Homo-oligomer: A and B are copies of this chain.
Amino acid sequence: MINELTGISAAHEQSIQKARKRIIESIGKNMDLYGITLSTGLLYGLMFFQNKPMTLDEMGEAMEMSKTSMSTGIRTLVDLNMVNKVWEKGSRKDQYEVERDWHQTFADFFVIKWRKAVELNLLALRKSLSELNELSAKHPEEEVLQDYLRSDIEKINQAIAYYLWLDRLIDTMESGDIYQLVPKEHVPDKHM
């Protein structure tokens, strides 16, 4: 039996489950922003309200899905640092629990996914930039070619500048400097 809400009336349990379900479904849906599928999002929501770590078997039973699917879903969540594997003594089964610091989860998403994209795009941009610069140096007299090259090189340089900015933004998330600009606790404006 999965249900951990024991010792209260069925009506009360239902009320709590209804309240949880609303949240789980909303969060689960919107986790597509993290590139996470709905069912994995729902799994995350389920674990969010759990007060102890869960095993794959428990998840499968609660989600009415195969353990295989739980395994792949959990891997996605672990890769994003949204869920942590915990070591429970006396159990052979792997146990998982959600990361409670959502600010950290948000930051990690950028550090993991967006940083990777920035690096790959910068790599491509710089390689192409170097090729085009080389081509330009080889044929300084060909005006039409130079026009094309100038245009592309300008675009590439702007793109590089943007990715460097994005890289610095991600730095502030990794270092925590972002909280200087936007504190975790809201500081109200001073009014005269």
Contacts and interface: CB of A to CB of B under 8 A. Distances in A.
A145 B22 contact: no
B165 A184 contact: yes
A62 interface: no
In the assembly, how many copies of this chain are there? 2
A15 B117 CA distance: 25
Given A16-B148, A131-B15, A155-B49, A124 B162 contact: no
A18 B151 CA distance: 15
B18 A145 contact: no
A26 B124 contact: yes
Interface residues of A, number: 69
25 contacts: A7-B144, A8-B142, A12-B139, A12-B145, A15-B131, A16-B148, A16-B152, A22-B124, A23-B128, A23-B156, A26-B125, A27-B124, A30-B117, A30-B120, A30-B121, A48-B155, A51-B151, A100-B158, A102-B158, A106-B162, A161-B185, A165-B183, A165-B186, A168-B182, A181-B181
Contacts of A102: 158-159, 162
Interface of A: 5, 7-8, 12, 15-16, 18-20, 22-23, 25-27, 29-30, 32-33, 35, 48-49, 51, 100, 102-103, 106, 113-114, 117, 120-121, 123-125, 127-129, 131-132, 135, 139, 142, 144-145, 148-149, 151-152, 155-156, 158-159, 161-162, 164-166, 168-169, 172, 177-178, 180-186
